[in-house]
Amino acid sequence: MICPYCGKEMNEVYIQSAQQLYLNRNRPRLIASGDLSSVGLSKFSLTKAPFVKAHYCEDCGKVIIDLNEDGIAVSRRKRSSRK
């Protein structure tokens, strides 16, 4: 992928975490989980570390994540149905 900021080739990288990755509109809390407005960036798995594929430009320090790439299920958090 070509960097839209500087026009140079970007490296394919993986952003990985010990917990599921979320895109939050609110500042993260002590417990690293998404709130109801969060968008999941990685699939949850008990056997594999959550990750998302991205492109990184070493020259300008930008990271681009294509949420539709590789069929990663981007999901919104839902309120629990428990009462």
Mean pLDDT in runs of 10 for the chain (83 residues)? 96 87 74 68 76 93 84 50 47
The total number of structural domains that make up the chain: 1
CA 32 to chain centre: 13
Instruction: Please give the DSSP secondary-structure letter assigned to residue 28.
Output: P
| 82 found inside a domain | no
> Residue 38 is encoded by which pair of tokens?
């969060």
**What integer pLDDT is reported at residue 76 of this predicted model?**
52
Residue 61: inside a domain? yes
Range of the domain at 64: 1-76
pLDDT at 83: 46
> What pLDDT was estimated at residue 42?
75
Residue 71 located in a structural domain: yes
d(CA 50, CA 32): 13
Does the reported pTM lie above 0.85? no
